[in-house]
Chain A
Amino acid sequence: MIELGSLALQLALLTAIYGIVVVLVGAARQRSEMVRSGRHAAYAVHGLVVLAAVALWRALLTHDFSLEYVASYASSTLALPYTIAAFWGGQAGSLLFWVLILMTMSSIAHLQNRERNAALMPYVTATLLVIAAFFLSLLVFITDPFERLPVPAIEGADLNPLLQNYWMMIHPPSLYLGFVGCAIPFAFAMAALASGRLSDVWIRTTRRWTLFAWFFLTVGNVLGARWAYEELGWGGYWAWDPVENAAIMPWFTCTAFLHSVMIQEKKNMLKMWNMVLVLLTFTLTIFGTFLTRSGIVSSVHSFTQSGLGPFFVGFLVMVIVTCIALIAWRRPLLRSENDIDSFLSREGAFLFNNLLLVGLAFATFWGTIFPVLSEAVRGIKITVGPPFFNKVNAPLGLALLFMTGVGPVIAWRRASARNLRRSFLWPLTLGFATGVVIFALGYRHYYAVVCFSLATFVLTTIAMEFYRGTRARQSLMHESPAMALANLVGKNRRRYGGYVVHIGIVMIAVGMAASSAFRVEVQETIERGQSFEAGPYTLTYTDLKNTDSPHVASMLAEVQVTRNGRPVTTLYPEKRFYKRQQQPTTEVALRSTLLDDLYVVLGNYDAESGLVTLLVFVSPLVAWLWIGALVMALGTVIVMSPTAAEQRVLAAALAVEERGLEGAARVVR
């Protein structure tokens, strides 16, 4: 099976190269059989990659320690879920996972477009196969997942204990789905540039793909934050680590793209800008993978560093140069067909929203690479850590939160004084009042106060939109309030689903502001029976227990928690010792409510005397961060769900495109 997996990868690479050549020649010469053969090559690559993936999973599950990869990232005592997750726990496996997801998406995209987008599809096939060929080259020539050890190992080294966490079962796949999902809109954008078909058809065709990628980028980032919160034991969830930055940068640009495509669809503007955004997003996903793999910047997340950096740099340069050349070539076709009437308009608001999002991506990129730049210029490597990112990104983030309230409700073209008054008078008044009340209550963390004010402003604009829409339906359609609300959302899912996403964003902003500004930290070294205060809680350490298994030994402190004299819960912060990797980890004990999280870490202990050091954090409103993410996910699902009206618009756009392309269509069919 191992040999079969290795052979499958080699054949996949050859098939991908064949597919690229045949589909491009077929498109240039309008030879339908060649284009069709290229498409079949993409399906074949998918099949071969699936075969290789099955071979690697089988080796992991059967503990085949003759394989270097299995011996490095698994062990006979590793739990089944983590043995499955070990597939993406190491470098070669994670790259194979990348290609597996890419080719699965490629097959779905090809099946969806069998009978449409005839002029685009050959170039879509070629682009996806080029990306696949790059990753397959790395797997075949540089980092082979099927490499045998000279002498089979008796036992595996085990998966990194930090990765033995249930969030790690779903965080990397989510992020990968997001990263790789960006390849589909990118491939269609490249195809639109190559074929010169630069209407909004490629955008409408890939809208759901973009949302899909954005959804998983969002989920992946939040799950990563949750993993850091539970596993790293420092009370926080985001440290602006280079690899975290690599994951958030494409999210910023993808979010900008999702907003600016609305301007193109509605006003036929920003064609070039949208092209730049989709290309930038894809480039940033590759840059993110490069950061994780290259070790160019130090990161706690770089579990699998290697010498792959130069290959990624080469690929990145090739992608960027090709994109710039294609955009320059098609510049005349990318001109806007309409003009903006006023900055006080939805178009203007979306433009500034885009500026802020790209500004956030740039600020994050800049801070991430500045240590490398500093070393190149001054010969001194410096650190750019959380204080830098918090200071630079916080004002940009707050400005973006403000635009979250403005963009969706300001009028298209040019807002009148009446529109502005009607849309913003109450939200601004309530937002300002919130700030004043919080300030009067004695809270002096200015960023947090501004954030709460803006949150009220945004939520009020959204609430007014729902209220007015529901009232309009009640009045015109004579529906009950619940029915009117359901129909309002159901019949305009894109708009109201978007509002739901914005509500989630506000929840996350509030959770982040409150938990970082008003967090209480206490560290105490105590004996059995002793108590101490942490915020509103009293913690009493009552016992120290140990457990043991062949895989992990663990020490747990029993901590009774009371509030105002009433028992609240019993927590068991834990220190684990993973025997194979000889590595200790911290298992946080957490009590989460909508108001605050009580987060207890067992720092140090003396088993004989029973003395323990406990580190305790009380973080207000942090649960809203996770709830906000769920609300965002719900909103995205609403936005993604198809409507008949939307299908009609896409069909009409395709019909217009296809009428001018009958020749090309005949080539493919």
Chain B
Amino acid sequence: MKGPSQTEIEESLTCQCGCGLTVHSCNHLQCPSAIPLKGEIAEHLAAGQTRAEILTGFSSTYGEKILSAPTMTGFNVVAWVMPFLAVFVATVAVVAFVVRWRTRAVPASATPPVEDDVPTAERRARLQAELDRFDG
């Protein structure tokens, strides 16, 4: 199985210099945080550690705030689930509202589909009249 890349791990960690970027993206080339961290990552990769092992190691050494995204465990799961759950619930709510509207109103089957692109002679004449009116 292919191991994690240096870039992948660098992108998973936040630089501690205050730049707000990941270790990989830190814009301070002589950064006192990013450079030692990159060295540490290289050592872990050379030792054959997996992505999870490396990130767990950094998390226990520097605290969870070093991870650039929340873990998929415990309360952090809420961070990942909530946006999609919100969109899903909102979609269900919209569908429910629309279905309620439709059952309250005229049955949908009674409404003819819109054939707004059929170029009948009648439609052409109407379009011509409309264009004349706007042009005028």
- The residues of A with any CB-CB pair to B shorter than 8 Å are 232-236, 239, 241, 298-300, 336, 339-343, 345, 348, 351-352, 355-356, 358-359, 362-363, 366-367, 370, 374, 377-378, 380-388, 391-392, 396, 411-419, 422-423, 472-473, 476-477, 491, 523, 586, 601, 603-604, 613, 615, 645
* A-B pairs with beta carbons under 8 A, tally: 167
Q: Which residues of B, 30-46, contact A by the 8 Å Cβ criterion?
A: 30
Residue of B12, B79, B102 touching A339 (CB-CB under 8 A): B102
Given A234-B25, A384-B69, A416-B113, the answer on whether A339 and B20 have CB atoms closer than 8 Å is no
**Per-position binary interface string of chain B over residues 124-136, scored 1 when its CB falls under 8 Å from any chain A CB and 0 otherwise:** 1001100100110
Inter-subunit contact A359/B18 (CB<8 Å): no
Q: Which residues of B contact A336 (CB under 8 A)?
A: 101
Inter-subunit contact A234/B127 (CB<8 Å): no
Interface size class for chain B? Answer: 35 or more
**Per-position binary interface string of chain B over residues 46-63, scored 1 when its CB falls under 8 Å from any chain A CB and 0 otherwise:** 000000000000000001
Most buried by A among B12, B25, B124: B25
- The residues of B with any CB-CB pair to A shorter than 8 Å are 11-12, 14, 18-22, 25-27, 29-30, 63-70, 74-76, 79-80, 82-84, 86-87, 90-91, 94-95, 98, 101-102, 104-105, 108, 111-118, 124, 127-128, 131, 134-135
Given A359-B90, A362-B86, A416-B114, the answer on whether A340 and B101 have CB atoms closer than 8 Å is yes
Residue of A341, A386, A419, A476 touching B68 (CB-CB under 8 A): A386
Cα–Cα distance between A154 and B109 once the two chains are bound (Å): 81
Inter-subunit contact B79/A239 (CB<8 Å): no
Inter-subunit contact B64/A380 (CB<8 Å): yes
Inter-subunit contact A476/B101 (CB<8 Å): no
Closest B residue to A585 by CB, please name it. Answer: B27
Closest B residue to A525 by CB, please name it. Answer: B29
Cα–Cα distance between A234 and B76 once the two chains are bound (Å): 28
Closest A residue to B101 by CB, please name it. Answer: A339
Residue of A385, A476, A604 touching B69 (CB-CB under 8 A): A385
Q: Which residues of B contact A391 (CB under 8 A)?
A: 69
Inter-subunit contact A418/B117 (CB<8 Å): yes
Q: Which residues of A contact B11 (CB under 8 A)?
A: 386-387
Cα–Cα distance between A352 and B113 once the two chains are bound (Å): 20
Closest B residue to A385 by CB, please name it. Answer: B68
Q: Which residues of A contact B67 (CB under 8 A)?
A: 382-383
Question: Please, could you name 21 A-B residue pairs with CB atoms under 8 Å apart, sorted by A?
Answer: A241-B20, A339-B104, A340-B102, A351-B94, A351-B98, A352-B94, A362-B86, A378-B75, A380-B64, A381-B65, A382-B70, A385-B14, A385-B68, A396-B87, A411-B113, A412-B114, A413-B114, A415-B114, A418-B118, A476-B128, A491-B135
Q: State the Cβ distance, A584 to closest chain B Cβ, in Å.
A: 9
